[in-house]
Structure 1
Amino acid sequence: MKRTLMIIFSLILISACVSEKETLNLEDGPSVTEEEFVQSSYPYPSIKWKGRIYRVTTDEDFDVEDEIGVIDTFSSNETGETPDNSSNRFQKGTKIWSIKGVNIEEGIAAEYGTGKYVKAISAHAK
């Protein structure tokens, strides 16, 4: 009986981990490996856009509006001032979009695959 319960618990745990990874499958688009991100000193995946820091979320349930630019610089090594239009998660050339109904000062979206977007929220939001 204990063995059966352990197997069921293990399967539930494994399926929960797999489901979360599928929510934001950045393997389809430009990104860094988990190991590269862990080695950096950044507290979370982020985008610096027009002087503002945005925290990358796993939220994909929104509509994009307009393409507003691209990531110019990728950096997984935080040293000194972070350049504008850069990310520690997305590679150079990743498209940045505005989100329908959301002020750009509050949130933006990064395209990580064809027609696949993830929301990044301002770290300065109140």
Structure 2
Amino acid sequence: MRYLRLCLCSIVILLFIPMNAGATSWVYHFVVWDGQIYKMTEEKVTSIDNEIGAVTKYSDMEQYKGNFSNTYPKGTKYFAIKGIDTEIAIAVQVDKGQYLKAINDGEYTYQRQTNITLNLYKVVGIMALFIVIYILFTSLRKKR
């Protein structure tokens, strides 16, 4: 009986230990606009045309749909560059009156990331918890 309680307590404690979900490792700083990923450069842009969009979601940990960035906060504005097609490059406003060039690096493929190992661990832990509870109640009934 003592061992069952110890097992039950151990499993409960294990279920509450926070698991580290893997963070996304980015190769470079980028913004996403109109389904395309644009690699940030250090090249300053002075010939700005009209505003074309803005960052709608920021994260340095996960991928998201839409005008997403791993560098700039939500609300950071995108601009067309005079004389350059937006399919080649855009300008990102990094400060008031300051813009950096971002070069198109192809289609942005959003993939929702799940940590299968973490989910599997939790399912196995919960199953083990139910098994221990079942054994505990069964042994208690036999004692009566």
**Correspondence for 2:71 among 89, 93, 112:** 89
After the TM superposition, list the runs of 4 or more consecutive aligned residues in structure 1 that deviate by more than 3 angstroms. Answer: none
Structure 2 residue 123 is the aligned partner of structure 1 residue 102? no
Runs of 5+ consecutive residues of structure 1 not aligned to the other structure = 1-38
* Gap regions ≥5 residues in structure 2: 1-22, 108-144
Q: Return the structure number with greater helix share.
A: 2
Deviations 1:79-112 (A, max 9, x none): 4xx3120100100000110001111111111101
Give 1:1-126 correspondences, 5 Å limit: 40-79=24-63, 82-124=64-106
Instruction: Give the aligned CA root-mean-square deviation in angstroms.
Output: 1.8
Query: For residue 54 of structure 2, what is the amino acid of its counterpart?
Result: V
Return the alpha-carbon distance in structure 1 between the equivalents of residues 28 and 72 of structure 2: 13
Q: Per-residue deviation at 1:40? A: 4.7
Cα pair 1:48 1:87 within 8 Å, conserved: yes
Q: Could you list the per-position Cα deviations for residues 52-73 of structure 1 after superposition, in whole angstroms to 9, with x for gaps in the alignment?
A: 0100000004411011111100
- For residues 91 and 25 of structure 2, the distance between their equivalents in structure 1, rounded to whole angstroms, comes to 23
Residue in 1 that maps onto 2:123 = none
Do 2:89 and 2:104's aligned partners in 1 also have CA atoms closer than 8 Å?
yes
TM-score by length of 1: 0.62
Identical amino acids, percent of aligned pairs? 35
